Amino acid sequence: IAPAVMAGLELGVPVIFARKYQSLTLKDDLYRSKVFSFTKQTESTIAISNKHIHATDKVLVIDDFLANGQAALGLADLIHQAQAEVVGIGIVIEKSFQSGRELLLEKGYRVESLARVKSLANGTVEFVRD
């Protein structure tokens, strides 16, 4: 949540959060999407209120990790359900040795990552050098 809040503050734009559907604060009038967590090996339903996103909105998705891309695709699906536009996907840490970036690029999304991890072999973190 913190990276999204900081991006919103820096850009001077509102921030909304997708929540797991079983949240007590979420009721009706929701956009919902199923996402598979590679890390936890579980499927969850995420949701946002349709009161907070509109067809004229341009949305920058911010997520902490990118592995196989399913969470980012689920977030983008919520935005598309509102007929809003995904202008890009910002990632804090990308696991470049997994297929998430390629999947998102194939779907036409711009992807920007603060850190791109090339390998975690032998207990050593190796970063992608652009």
Q: Is the pTM of this model over 0.85?
A: yes
Residue 109 has a pLDDT of 99
- Quickly list DSSP for 56-70: T-EEEEEEEEESSSH
Starting at the edge strand found earlier in the chain, the sheet holding 126-127 runs 58-66, 85-95, 111-119, 126-127
**CATH at 75:** 3.40.50.2020
Are 95 and 117 in contact, with CB atoms under 8 Å apart?
yes
User: Which residue segment(s) compose the domain that 120 sits in?
Assistant: 2-127
For the record, the structure tokens of 123 come out as 């207990």
Q: Exposed, middle or buried: residue 45 (CB in 10 Å: 0-12, 13-18, 19+)?
A: middle
Stretches where the chain sits below pLDDT 70 are: 22-27
Q: How many domains does the chain have?
A: 1
Contacts of 9 (CB under 8 A, 6+ apart): none
Residue 24 has a pLDDT of 64
Residue 23 has a pLDDT of 62
pLDDT in tens, 23-53: 666 667 899 999 988 778 889 999 999 999 9
